[in-house]
Every structure is written in C-alpha cells, then in structure tokens.
Amino acid sequence: MALVDRLYDILNILQVHSSISQQELENSLQTSRQTLRKQIQLLNQEMSDIASIVLENRKYKLIIQDYDAFEQIANGALKQGTDFNSTNKRQAYILKQLVESYTPVLIDDLASQVMVSRGTINNDINQLRKVLEVYKLSVIGTPNRGLELQGYELDIRTAYINIVLSYFNCQNLKLTDKQVILKNSPTPQTSIFTKSLLIKAVYTTVLRIKQGHHFEEDIPYYHNFIEKNIEFENFIASLEVHFNLTFSHYEITYLAFPFNIYNRYMINTNDYDQDFLYHLFQQMLRYINQKLGLTIPTHPLFEDLEQHLIYLIHRLIFRIPSRDLFLQEIKQRYPLSFEIAKLSAHILSKELHREIPEIEISYLALYFEMALSKRVAPEKRKIAVVCHTGLGTAEIIKNQLQRILGPSVQLISMTNENISQCDVKEFFAVFSTLPLDQKNYQIPVIQINTLFDEEYIRLQWKNLAKHHPLSNDQLTIILIPLHEVSDYKSCLSIMCQQLYDKGLIAKNFAEKIFQREALSPTIFDNGVAMPHAMNNHKNKTVLAIGQLHPALKTTAHSVELIFMLAIPELEQETTNEVLVQVYEFIFSAANHLNKRHKLLQTTSSKELLHIIQKGKYL
C-alpha cells in the first residue's frame, strides 16, 4: 500500500471517532505502534496549521483548526502532492495518457515521461490492468502500435474521475471555468465533496465530448431526480454557453449524478421504477430466508429502506468512494444484521454487476437492525412491578414507569409473594425494588430503586425489547464433538444421526439438509458453517454445535464449528424470534476468535443455553 493511502486510512478512521485508543487504531490498520507514530508525525507535518492528531491518555484524537482547508485534504489534496516515486501515481498517469490520447500510447514514451525503466512501467501497466478489472476496462497492447483503453463510456469516465483526478487535478480547467460551474450550481450550499465531484464530472464530460466520445443511451438503473429542476436547467444552459457545447439528453443526465447519490430530499415514487426496486427487495428477502431460514416481513422495512436503496444503487453505478469507517463497530454490535446485509448485498452485486463496499453493507445493516429491533409485538409487553413495601408503593413506581415506557406497555403491581406464586411466563419482564433470584425466572429481572434514574430505565427497556430471553421449551442445544472426521458431508451425517437418535428431528431431516447444501452451501467465513432445514418432528428449535478437532479443510474454507439448526415448521412468528437470538449468538461468536475458541472448548449445553437466554455472547 502506498504511504499516502495509509495516511488517508488514518484520517478516515479519526474523522468518524471522537477518539480511539492506540491499540484499536493499530489493530484496525494492522500496523505496529512505532510505524503508526511515524505515519501520524508525517501526517501532522502535512496538515500543519490545518489539523493535528494528538495522543491523550493513550487515545488518538483529530483536532481541526481550518475546516475548509481540511476538507480539501480529505478530498485528496495529499495525493496530488506526490511524485512519480509513487506506484499509484504512475498508474494514474498511465491511465491519464490512455484516456486523453487520440492515438495508441507507446510504452517507451510512458517510461521516459515518468523517468523509470521499461521493466518498471510494464509492472505498473500490469498492476493497472488488475485495478481496471473492477471497472470492466481493458488495456490492450498491439505490437508496433501501442496501448489502448477499451470499455463502456461510463466506466471510462468513472475510472478517470476516481483514479486520474485523485492524483492530477483538472489541469486544463481554468479558474473562470470552475467559477462558472460553482456559481451556477443548482445547489450552491452543498458540501465541498459534492462541489469537487461536480467539477470533475464537468471536466471529464467536456474532455470526452471534445474527443468525440459521447453517451448514446441511458445509464441502466439510474434516475435523474432533478431533471425538471429550473436551477439545474439554468446550470446546464450556462455550461453550454461557457464551453460552447451542446449537451445531449444523455450527457445532461450524466452531469446530474453528483446531485443524485445522497438522500437529501423525498422522491416521488413516479420518478423511478418502484416495481424493479420492490422485485429486488423481494429477491433479497428470499435469499435471506434461503440462507438463514429467517422470515423478515416486507412491511414496514421496504418503506424504510426504499429511498436508501435508490441512492445506494446510484452510488454503486458511479462507484462513489466512501470515507466513513465505523464498519467494525457495526459488525461487532449487530453481527446478525450485518450478516443479513451481506446476503442482501450479494443480490445487489449480482443484479448490478458491481462489488458492494463493506461500508455500504454496514449502512444496510442499520436498516435490518431497526427491523429486527421491532420484532417484539406490543401485546407481549406485559411487565410485573414488584415492591417490597407493598402494593401502594408499587403503584407509585408503576406510574413512574408508565410515564417513562409509554402506553404500549402493560404494567401490573405485585408483591414478592404474588410474583413467587404466579406463572411468570406471561410477563415480558420484571421490575423489582428488591433482589430476586434470577435462576427462578426465565424472563429478565431488573432491580430498581424507589427513586430511579429515568435514563437507566429507558436503556434497560431498549435492551429488553431487542433481546427477550428464550424459554427452555423454545430451544434445545446439543454439543457434538467431531474428532478426525475426513469430510464435511460426513460431519453432517454424524450430527443428523445423533439428533435423530435423541428423538429431536424427523427421519427426513438429513435429506433436507443435504438437498439445501447441494442448492447453496452454508459454509461462511471465519471457520463457521450453518446448515439448516425445516423440522416437522418437534415444535421447538434445535441447535446442534459440531466441534471439529482438528479444523476441517474444504475446497474453499476451513471449518471448525458447525451450527446445525432444525427449525420447526409451525408458529412462524415465535420461531423467527428464536432464530434471531440464535443467529445473533452464532455471528457474534463467528466474528471473534476468542469466542470461537471458547465454543470449541465448552462441554456444557446448559451453559450455552443460559448464555443465549440472557442475551450474552460468551
């Protein structure tokens, strides 16, 4: 990785964290403390009087003095200051010549211009070819003729903006050109990033048109939502006069893309193909169900996600790079939602022929997390309020809780004697002013004072609504050690046989497992597999955890833990709630090496059930 790219990695992380520990930053960048200190020292020199990175109490923090100048740095100013000792800058220069030249480019000319050997320039060209594969572009070399760039016009412009103009500013664009672009912009108060992108889009469009390269068709899946905006029409007219050009409908649509990539205003559903979007969304839900057995309701998730999907598709079309890096926090805090988002991204990638950046997956994960957090129905939120001083005080506390938690919660005042004699399964949770032995309850018990902290109560309630514990009649866990098993299919056969011998699955369950695996293997990253199938034998979820010693090497993965799920066919809503908690447990373990090791070593199914019931993850 080029040094300048590493400097931007550091900046990107510090922009989205008010502070971050030395250890976290080192782990995130996968570098040593000494190297990180040197890189930060260099970065501080480059940002002198603009911003600085300080270390206080073993935590790094970014302090910005000049926000406008810092935004210029954030948008790539450091890259433009590098020389041809940078491999990335040489690659950008090669692409620049390929795009801007009217004739094939000679390798000897390139080597002479950047002052490196022919062998070095050949290596740069080969590396550039790999970079351009993402853009579906090819560098074609013909003996005695030279190098030429081949590909779709949109991809050429996108690569030129993202690669060339990151290292070489719009060199042929005069100050008056930039002033005309920004003065007549339909949204003059927009961010510096959007302004910079707009200048690059106009510069690239004018360059390509003058070379005789035009858009001759609409861009698939892209919609110009400001097409009828009078300010945008005036903007296009000013560009045509200033550059003495006439833009076609297709060029005008392209020039609008910097204003159509972020969700800034509500869109009329008549302005885009809602049927296509809904079909795409349904494909995502079907794939999630196929892979995990989870049923996610279409509504209200589609309404929440609809506009985000539109702009996400636009960002993917134009390959907009993101500077946000709270990815690790999302993965760790919402492991199931992140995995669901990855499955959705697979469908998007297949449909749009684009790689989905992990940061976009993390944004999707937030929407799925909101959907999963709403899964507990209001009618189930029945709360017992227990007070050791009697029902009178309990009634006062109940009124306080009602004010905090709202009308959707049914609160019932009880004494300690009442609660010990009733069936607590009818309650969602217990709030108590005295310590209760949680071992006697299969629901959450929250201890409070008669004068309690309202924020504490809200936080506890939020956690309860998301992670309601399971009862023993909803989930059975079986641990199955697998020693020296030769192949993955044999592992599944052994696990199915043991479950059948214990009377936990139907006779045809194994057949369903193998049919599903043949259709779509359920081996995930990090050494985890999750085969699952419907089970019409028991009205409860069964989780068998296969512990492989040693790990099994398959064609594409190494497997050390197999989470086999037998999902009951009845009571879909209840089953879904169980699956959500089980998957959150599984993916939390899958994302942490030390948790996977604990799972490999544990011998107690009862302890594992307790961990899942309490919403804890090892």
Q: Cβ neighbours of residue 101 under 8 Å, at least 6 residues apart?
A: none
What letters, b where the CB count within 10 A reaches 16 and e where it falls short, cover 7-40? bbbbbbbbeebebbeeeebeebbebeeeebeebb
Beta carbons of 183 and 239 less than 8 angstroms apart: no
3-state secondary structure of 194: helix
Is a pLDDT exceeding 80 seen at residue 265?
Answer: no
Strand partners, 149: 139
State if pTM tops 0.85. no
Type of residue at 34: Q
Q: For residue 612, what pLDDT band results from cuts at 50, 70 and 90? A: low
User: What is the rounded distance in angstroms from the CA atom of residue 440 to the CA atom of residue 48?
Assistant: 62
Pairing of strands 558-568, 532-535: parallel
93-97: average pLDDT = 96
Type of residue at 198: L
> Where would I find the beta strands (DSSP E) of 311-407?
382-386
Is a pLDDT exceeding 50 seen at residue 379?
Answer: no
pLDDT > 70 in the chain, percent? 84
User: Which pLDDT belongs to residue 98?
Assistant: 96
Q: Which two tokens stand for residue 128?
A: 């550039």
Mean pLDDT of all residues belonging to the chain: 84
Length of the chain: 618
Give the Å distances, CA to CA, from 426 to 383, 443, 490, 610.
9, 10, 43, 20
Per-residue model confidence as pLDDT tens digits over 462-485: 666 555 555 556 788 999 999 989
Is a pLDDT exceeding 60 seen at residue 513?
Answer: yes
Per-residue model confidence as pLDDT tens digits over 540-592: 899 999 999 888 988 778 899 999 999 987 656 667 778 888 888 888 888 77
User: What is the rounded distance in angstroms from the CA atom of residue 114 to the CA atom of residue 509?
Assistant: 65
User: What is the rounded distance in angstroms from the CA atom of residue 261 to the CA atom of residue 191?
Assistant: 13
Give the Å distances, CA to CA, from 320 to 224, 258, 340, 359.
16, 9, 23, 11
Is a pLDDT exceeding 50 seen at residue 377?
Answer: no
Q: Which two tokens stand for residue 592?
A: 């942490």
285-299: average pLDDT = 88
Q: Which two tokens stand for residue 563?
A: 């989470």
Q: Which two tokens stand for residue 534?
A: 């419907």
Higher pLDDT, 422 or 219: 219
> Where would I find the beta strands (DSSP E) of 1-133?
20-21, 51-56, 59-64
